Amino acid sequence: MFAARSKPQFSTTDVFPLTDAIMDFDDSAAEVVRLSRREVDVRRLPGQRTLFQKWLIAISLVSLYLMVVVVFHALGMVQTQTVMVLGAMIGGGLLLFLAVFKSGLNRKFSEKRLKFPIVACALGCLLVVFYLDPVTQIALAPFAFVALAYGMYRIQRVQSYLLGFLFVAGYATVVALHYWEQQNEALLRLELMHLLALGAAIPAFLFLIAKVQLLHHILHRASRKIKNIQEDAQRDTLLGCFNRRYIVAALEEQRQVADETGIPLCLAVIDLDHFKRINDELGHLGGDEVLRHFARVAQENVRAGDIFGRYGGEEFLLIFPATSLLPALNTCERIRAQVEAHAWKGLLRGKVTVSIGVTQYVPGESVLEFFSRADTATYLAKEGGRNQVVVEEPTRKGDPSVTVEPIPDEEDNLEPEATLPSPLEPERRFASSRG
């Protein structure tokens, strides 16, 4: 439901000035109940495959060679014994590597996917089949290139050249064995021509693979840097939470989702009380440290699907996707209580507290109206003595009554700190009890 959508269009307002182009962002509201859809999207990206898909690819490549040998056998060119030996080697190899991966022994190696031994075993099987039936040299060279290409992104350049050299040397050994056993000069000339072709083609192929590896590593590093830049652009560099640009875009996105689906949406504005006093006592560096501690405490007490970010200064926004008013109120009260009870270190002469205003979205209203109602509740919390949560209950347009469904959130095991007003009372404001 909250999967990534097309980039929303935002309008600039006095409350939400968007001077930069809105960037695509990953909706953290989807991380809990909709994580599987995000995983599916990630798995569809190039280079991102599941373990099952990786095994399926390897088995498919091996099966292609087995199928070719079986066809040769059906044409009367390959012995039954050769097919049986190949089947046994394939089955034994798959079971061996499966056992290694299941036991975790592969983690003891620097290259945990074991591409080098896998490719080495594949090339060895090709040589064994070639020794048993010389006619299979027709399929040996193409599938040798397939095996080398399979490990191209994981096997180092020196290792790939070593594999190529050992394979050519193994091929020459098999040629010598064939001549020693059969004394067939015609077969020897044919196999020597194949040996010459392989000896020339494999080094060239490995050289080109090295170029592709270099390009792959460059693109991988560039992709990592771009990803880090995108993440940094979404985060407040001081506090580590989402920044103003992201949180505003997320609020607009969630508003659109609420309009389209009819699911509830809540918003809380959180403001640190007497922050000027904190700056005066500790200085601006000390004030920044208080903000960092507060952001960490808040993020530890929000649910995984909620979106928390800094709006500006000591003011923060907390978006509650797919959440009715009562669970949102419970989370806000938990944050308020944890901040008040936190053991603040330093030269602070008093406790750090927060005033929180929370409200629920009314379908069809603008982001500005939605935000202003939550901001008004925060103002009332400060006017009412601070260190409290005030709910600004919404009123539907054209409807003098409001129905607030007190549906407890499954992830929130706390009892509600306040009782919601009767739905027959329009637009009533109330504050939660203070510690």
pTM: 0.49
The pLDDT value given to residue 347: 59
User: Residues near 38 by Cβ (< 8 Å), separated by ≥ 6?
Assistant: 3, 26, 30, 31
**Does 269 have pLDDT greater than 90?**
yes
**Does 279 have pLDDT greater than 90?**
no
Return the ∠ at Cα 218 (arms to 214 and 222), rounded to 5°.
Answer: 170
Which of the pair, 236 or 379, is modelled with greater confidence?
379
The pLDDT value given to residue 380: 94
**Does 406 have pLDDT greater than 50?**
no
The pLDDT value given to residue 349: 67
**Does 377 have pLDDT greater than 80?**
yes
Per the prediction, the chain carries an average pLDDT of 79
Query: Average pLDDT of 330-347?
Result: 86
Share of the chain above pLDDT 70, in %: 78
Which of the pair, 109 or 329, is modelled with greater confidence?
329
Distance between CA 171 and CA 302 in Å, rounded?
Answer: 64
The pLDDT value given to residue 407: 40
Alpha-carbon separation of residue 126 from 146, 164, 167, 326, 384 (angstroms): 11, 13, 9, 67, 82
Do 281 and 348 touch, CB atoms closer than 8 A? yes
The pLDDT value given to residue 27: 36
Q: Which of 239, 351, 234, 233 is nearest to 297 (CA)?
A: 239
Q: Is 314 a catalytic residue?
A: yes
Q: What is the pLDDT of residues 158-191, one digit of tens each?
A: 888 898 999 999 999 999 999 999 888 898 999 9
Query: Among all chains, which residue has been given the structure tokens 């809380």?
Result: 268
Q: Which of 314, 333, 393, 417 is catalytic?
A: 314
Do 269 and 376 touch, CB atoms closer than 8 A? no
**Does 141 have pLDDT greater than 80?**
yes
Q: What is the pLDDT of residues 416-433, one digit of tens each?
A: 444 343 333 334 345 554
Distance between CA 72 and CA 78 in Å, rounded?
Answer: 6
* Separation of CA 290 from chain center: 31
The pLDDT value given to residue 229: 75
Q: What is the pLDDT of residues 37-83, one digit of tens each?
A: 334 343 444 445 677 788 888 888 889 999 999 999 999 999 999 99
Which of the pair, 260 or 220, is modelled with greater confidence?
260
